[in-house]
């Protein structure tokens, strides 16, 4: 158990659906992250929040919308996704501001039909 | 392009032998490096990290070596066990900020 919990573990959605991914960390960390992991590709950073403020938006399409209501919770709202968005979405947290190790959740395996 | 890479996508190791997983990086400004292990159905798990002011760091059964001259990072696993079967990622932080740059991973399979 890493202290970072993601729900749901699996999600299948149509291209017109709206869904949300949830992440919660129990480590008292100040920074939270969304990464995308596709087969045969390196992890791609999507968003970073530090003290509930977004500090990084890595050229992610607007059909992905993050939300960080407090330092323990992070959401990724999904809307009109494409089949190529199918991937494992990983949430992570870290103590503070960069240059330090991340603690990852188990991810949400997303399939877009 | 990708700044961090691994030399081999797969590695097969006999149980009990030592494993060496290699990683090359291209950004000489990187000052922090991490190794992660990812088992099937799980997220990446931190193994060990090293900063650029060191060239070697040891953990439990693992050693990370950093050669800044040739921009090479390696992870050594002693007495490899079946539970070590996983995908191993190296990552670097070239800017000292939030952006860890990950390699594509090496899949390690331990033979009984």
Structure tokens at B96: 């000292």
Please report the residues numbered 45 through 64 in chain B whose beta carbons come closer than 8 angstroms to any beta carbon of chain A. Answer: 45-46, 49
CA distance B22 to chain A (A): 16
| pLDDT classification of B104: cutoffs 50, 70, 90 | confident
Instruction: Summarize pLDDT for B23-53 with one digit per residue, the tens.
Output: 998 888 888 999 999 999 899 999 999 999 9
Contact in structure between A48 and A31 (CB atoms under 8 Å): yes
- Cβ B92 vs Cβ B36: under 8 Å: no
pLDDT digits (tens, 9 = 90+) for B57-89: 999 999 999 999 999 999 999 999 999 999 999
Q: Looking at the predicted structure, is the pLDDT value of residue B7 above 80? A: no
Partner residue opposite B43 with nearest CB, options A48, A55, A107: A107
């Amino acid at each position: 158990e890493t202290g970072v919990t993601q729900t749901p573990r699996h999600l299948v959605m149509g291209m017109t659906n709206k869904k949300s991914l949830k992440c919660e960390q129990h480590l008292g960390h100040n920074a939270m992250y969304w990464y995308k992991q596709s087969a045969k590709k390196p992890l791609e950073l999507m968003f970073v929040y530090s003290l509930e403020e977004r500090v990084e938006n890595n050229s992610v399409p607007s059909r992905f919308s993050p939300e960080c209501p407090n330092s323990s919770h992070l959401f990724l709202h999904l809307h009109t996704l494409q089949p190529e968005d199918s991937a494992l979405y990983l949430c992570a947290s870290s103590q503070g501001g960069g240059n330090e190790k991340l603690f990852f959740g188990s991810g949400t395996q997303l399939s877009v039909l | 392009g990708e700044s961090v890479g691994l030399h081999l996508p797969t590695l097969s190791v006999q149980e009990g032998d030592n494993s060496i997983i290699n990683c090359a990086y291209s950004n000489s400004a990187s000052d922090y490096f991490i190794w992660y292990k990812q088992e099937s159905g799980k997220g990446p798990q931190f193994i060990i990290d090293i900063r650029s002011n060191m060239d070697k760091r040891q953990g439990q059964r693992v050693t990370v070596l950093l050669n800044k001259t040739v921009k090479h990072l390696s992870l050594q696993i002693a007495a490899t066990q079946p539970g070590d079967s996983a995908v191993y990622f190296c990552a670097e932080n070239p800017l000292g900020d939030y952006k860890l740059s990950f390699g594509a991973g090496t899949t390690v399979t331990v033979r009984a």
